[in-house]
Amino acid sequence: MNRRNGFSIAGNVLLGMLLACWLARAYFLHSPQQVHVNDEGYSYAGRLIEFRNLLGNGYVSPQWCMHFRGGLGSPYFSYYQPGFFYAASLVPWWVSPLRALGVTVVGFGLLGYLATAGLVGRWFGRTSGLLAGSGLLLSVYAGNEISFRGDLSEFAAMMTLPVVLWALAGWLEHERLRYAACLALTSGALIVLHPAVALIGFVLFAVALAAFLLAARRLRPVLGAATALGFGAALAAFYWLPVFFEWDLVAPDKAFTDFYHYSKHFVGPLAILDPWHRHMTLPLTLGPVLVGLVFFNTFAMLLRREKPTPWRRGLLLFCLVAGVLLTLLMTRCSAPLWARLSLLQRLQFPWRIMSLVTVLAAVAAGCMVPWRRERLRAAVVGMLVAAMGVFAYGPTSYRLDPDTSAPANVAELMRRNFVPDLRDEWLPRGAARKVPQAERTRPSAGPGCRIEGFRPTQGRLSCRVTTDRPSHVVLPHYYFPVGWQAEVDGASVPLVRGPHGLMQIELPPKTAGRLQVCFSHTPMRRRGLWISATALLLGGLLCAICRRRRR
C-alpha cells in the first residue's frame, strides 16, 4: 500500500467516524443523565444497567431481570434481543449508561459505513464507496432511529446488514474462507441484534443466492453461502430457541394487537419519495439526494457505451429489484401475504422494512460508475455528501426531555419501578401487573411459619424459615415455571404460583433452615447454548480443515 492510498483510507475512516459521532451526538453533548425525547425514553439505559449487573453476577447469557418491575422481576432477556447490550457492555463499566449507548451507536455507525463503502468500492471505486457509506449514515431512517424512535437494537442491525452483504458478495466472487467465516458470524449477530430485521434479511439473502445461481449458474458458491448462513442461525440458537419454544410462558400477543396490529401500519407505495418535514408523525422517506442518485446511476449505466461488468450491473440491479419488492411489502397491496404468514406478522410494523430498504438505497446510490475525469467526480461526490448532510440535519435533530433523567444503578431502577415493555407482553403469564404494596416489599408466611433475614440478590432470593406444621412462604417476586429452583439446606421443595402470580414455596412440617430460590437458565436456553457452542466448534474445525486442504 502506497502512502497516497493509506491517506485515502484513513480519510475515509475519519469521515465515517465523524458522521457516526454526528448521528450519536445526543448522547455526548449533555450531562450523563440527560435524555433526549424519543419513543424509548431512558429504557435502553435501564436495560443496559440490568444487563451489566447480570453479567457481573456471572450470567453470561442473561434471561431473568431481578430489578425490573420494582423488584418483582421479569424474564425480559429470555425474549428481547441481547445483541446490542452485549456490544454496549464492552464499553468500560465506569462509563455512564447513556455515554456507553452513544459509544456503541458510534461503533455500529462506523461499522455500517465501512461495510457499505467496502461493498460498493469493490467494483465502483473508493469514491463511490464513500458516497454509499455517507448515504447510509445521513439517511432519514438512520437519523430517525436515534432521534425519533430511539430503537438502538434496530439501528445496530441496520448497520450490520451491509457487513453480511459484503461477506456474501465476497464469498460469491472469490470463495475465500474468510468471507464464509464472516458471513456465518455476522448473520448470527444479525439475529441476536434484531430478529425482525434478520427475518427479512435472510429472505433477502436467499433472493440474492437465487439470483446469482440464475445469472452465473454456479452451484458450489451458493451451497457454501447457504451453509455459512445455516451456521449463523445455529450460532444464534441460544437466543431464538427460548423465543420459539417458551413463547407461551409470557403474553407476547399483547404486543401485536390493537394499535400494534400490523394492519394499522401499512404505508403508501410512494411514501419513501415524500419530502421530509418536521411535523411528520413517523418519517419514512429516503430523502431527495438518495432517490436522485439511484435514478441517476440507473440511467447512467443504461446509457453507458461500454458494457458494465457483471458485478457492477448485478449489484445495482439487485438493489433496485429487492428495494422495489420490499417497498411493496410495506404497502397494503401485500396485506393477503401478511395475513397468511404468521411469522411475517412478528415484524409488528410493516414500515420496519425501511431499515433494509435504506441500506439497499444507499448501496444503489453509491453505484456511480467511474468517470473519465475522476477529479470532477470526486468533487461532485463531495458536494453530494454535503447536500446529504444539509438534508440530514432535520431528521437527526432532537430536544432534551426536561422531566426525565436516566437512572444510575439497579437500586434506582427498582425505586422507579422500571417496566421496559409497554403492554406487559413480557410479564409472566398469570401474573398480576398490580400487586399490593405490602406483598411487593416483603415475604409473607403461612400458618405456623416464621421468616427471618430475607435477602434478594441477582438471581437469588434467600431467608431463614421455621415451620411447626405444613405451611408455605410467598416471596415478593414473580413466579416463572422454568429456570427457578427452590431448596431448604440443599433439599428441594416445591415452587408454585401463589397469589397475584408471585412465588409460593410449599414447606413440610418441622422445617428449619435457609430457603434459597435460585435462577440458572431455562431448559430451552440451555439447549440453545449447547447448539451455539457446537456450531462454533464445528465451524472452527471446518475452517481449520478447509484451510489445511488449501495449503
Query: How confident is the model over 177-209, as pLDDT tens digits?
Result: 999 999 999 999 999 999 999 999 999 999 999
Would you say residue 273 has pLDDT above 80?
no
More confident residue, 5 or 15: 15
Would you say residue 448 has pLDDT above 80?
yes
Would you say residue 1 has pLDDT above 60?
no
Q: How far apart are CA 257 and CA 266, in angstroms?
A: 15
Secondary structure of residue 462 in the 3-state scheme = strand
Q: How far apart are CA 477 and CA 440, in angstroms?
A: 7
Radius of gyration of the chain (CA): 26
Summarize the confidence of residues 298-315 as an average pLDDT. 83
Summarize the confidence of residues 458-467 as an average pLDDT. 94
Look at residue 12 in the predicted model and tell me its pLDDT. 84
Residue type, 489: D
Look at residue 207 in the predicted model and tell me its pLDDT. 94
Look at residue 371 in the predicted model and tell me its pLDDT. 83
Structure-block grid coordinates of residue 510: 418441622
Q: How far apart are CA 101 and CA 457, in angstroms?
A: 26
Task: For residue 462, list its beta bridge partners.
Answer: 455, 516
Look at residue 11 in the predicted model and tell me its pLDDT. 81
Q: Is the CB of residue 523 less than 8 Å from the CB of residue 482? A: yes
Average pLDDT, the chain: 91
Task: For residue 36, list its beta bridge partners.
Answer: 400
Secondary structure of residue 497 in the 3-state scheme = strand
What is the pLDDT confidence band of residue 281, given thresholds at 50, 70 and 90? low
Q: What is the CATH number of domain 437-520?
A: 2.60.40.1180
According to DSSP, residue 333 is labeled G
Would you say residue 259 has pLDDT above 60?
yes
Q: How far apart are CA 186 and CA 229, in angstroms?
A: 9
Residue 491's φ and ψ, nearest 5 degrees, are -95, 125
Look at residue 472 in the predicted model and tell me its pLDDT. 93
Look at residue 7 in the predicted model and tell me its pLDDT. 58
Least Cα distance to 102 among 157, 166, 36 occurs for: 36
Summarize the confidence of residues 90-116 as an average pLDDT. 96
What is the pLDDT confidence band of residue 286, given thresholds at 50, 70 and 90? confident
Q: Where are the alpha helices (DSSP H) in 36-96?
A: 43-56, 76-79, 83-88
Look at residue 132 in the predicted model and tell me its pLDDT. 96
Residue written as grid cell 475525469: 373
Least Cα distance to 184 among 163, 200, 154 occurs for: 163
Would you say residue 347 has pLDDT above 80?
yes
pLDDT above 70 as % of the chain: 97
Would you say residue 465 has pLDDT above 80?
yes
pLDDT digits (tens, 9 = 90+) for 480-519: 999 999 999 989 999 999 999 999 999 999 889 999 999 9
Q: Where are the alpha helices (DSSP H) in 40-139?
A: 43-56, 76-79, 83-88, 97-124, 126-137
* Spans of all domains in the chain: 3-405, 437-520
What is the pLDDT confidence band of residue 136, given thresholds at 50, 70 and 90? very high
Among 66-75, 143-152, 278-287, 342-351, which is the least confidently predicted range? 278-287
Q: Which residues, including other chains, have CB under 8 Å from residue 304's CB and lie 6 or more apart?
A: 369
| Predicted TM-score (pTM) of this structure | 0.95
Summarize the confidence of residues 310-326 as an average pLDDT. 93
Summarize the confidence of residues 211-221 as an average pLDDT. 92
Look at residue 131 in the predicted model and tell me its pLDDT. 95
Secondary structure of residue 279 in the 3-state scheme = coil
- 3-class SS string, 136-150: HHCCHHHHHHHHHHC
Summarize the confidence of residues 457-485 as an average pLDDT. 94
Alpha carbon separation from 513 to 78, 127, 449, 489 (Å, rounded): 32, 72, 12, 6
Summarize the confidence of residues 395-413 as an average pLDDT. 89
Summarize the confidence of residues 215-238 as an average pLDDT. 95
Q: Is the CB of residue 381 less than 8 Å from the CB of residue 131? A: yes
Look at residue 242 in the predicted model and tell me its pLDDT. 95
Among 110-119, 187-196, 465-474, which is the least confidently predicted range? 465-474
